[in-house]
Amino acid sequence: MARLALRVQQWTDHKNSHYTKAQPPSWKDFQQWTLDFIRGGRNTAIDLAKTYFNAKQRPNQDPIAFHNYLQSIESQMAISEEQRVTGFFAKLIEPLRKELKFVLQDRFPTNRDDLLSAAILTWNNKDMGTPAPTKKRNHEDTTTPYSHKRQKNDKTENTNESKKSKNDKNDKNKNNDQNPRTKDLSTITCYHCSKKGHYANKCPDRQATNTDTPAAVNRITQDDSDSENYSESE
């Protein structure tokens, strides 16, 4: 009766806002309003069912906050206490469900409030609200096709840079060979002539001496030969 009275009031409100005494609604208008109301209610029920189905406890959401959210959906649905208990338990995060199974074992609650109390106690004791530290991945975990490609490109670039550096070094050495630097000999003292500006093996005086020596030897040899010939003739 209460639901029927609500529908009558809704129709009355609609009629007063859309029609006047001079132009009252017809039976056809009432039929159309009823169909629209049914369709709207059906769509609302479908959307509500989807929302309830997708409701899940988030990793860092405490059981009380999730209970309040789920209860706001359940209040618009025809749902039993048993369904509220099993639905709440099934929508909790997996670590909390496992702990509750271990703690409760054969003493599983038959009402939502008792299950909520057990969930809160377990949540706080296990400190499940604290985010777990991010674990460092090893090299194999972080390896992706993109990283393989990047490593390959980096290796190619390093090889090219090494070749370029080697070629530049060879070109530099080649230029040095083609264009030898003139060494400053102003501080060099020749031990042969005691003059500066050259080494002993490049000494001009020594070269001149070496040039004259064969001629002198030849003269001495020739003189000795003439002397021997003169003695024999006597």
The per-residue pLDDT for range 104-135, each reduced to its tens digit, is 888 889 999 999 999 999 999 878 765 545 54
**pTM confidence score:** 0.42
Residue 122, Cβ density class (10 Å: 0-12 exposed, 13-18 middle, ≥19 buried): buried
Tokens of 227: 């002397």
Residue 144 is classified by DSSP as: -
Output phi, psi for 150, to 5 deg: -65, -40
Tokens of 133: 């530290």
pLDDT above 50: residue 163: yes
* 99 against 40, higher pLDDT: 99
Instruction: Say how far residue 222 (Cα) sits from the centre of its chain.
Output: 98
Question: Please, what's the b/e burial string for 146-185 (b: 16 or more CB within 10 A of its CB; e: otherwise)?
Answer: eeeeeeeeeeeeeeeeeeeeeeeeeeeeeeeeeeeeeeee
Instruction: Say how far residue 81 (Cα) sits from the centre of its chain.
Output: 48
Q: What average pLDDT score do residues 182-189 get?
A: 73
Tokens of 80: 């039993």
Tokens of 196: 């500066």
- Identify the pLDDT of residue 204: 83
Q: What is the pLDDT of residues 54-73, one digit of tens each?
A: 999 999 999 999 999 999 88
- For residue 37, which amino acid is it? F
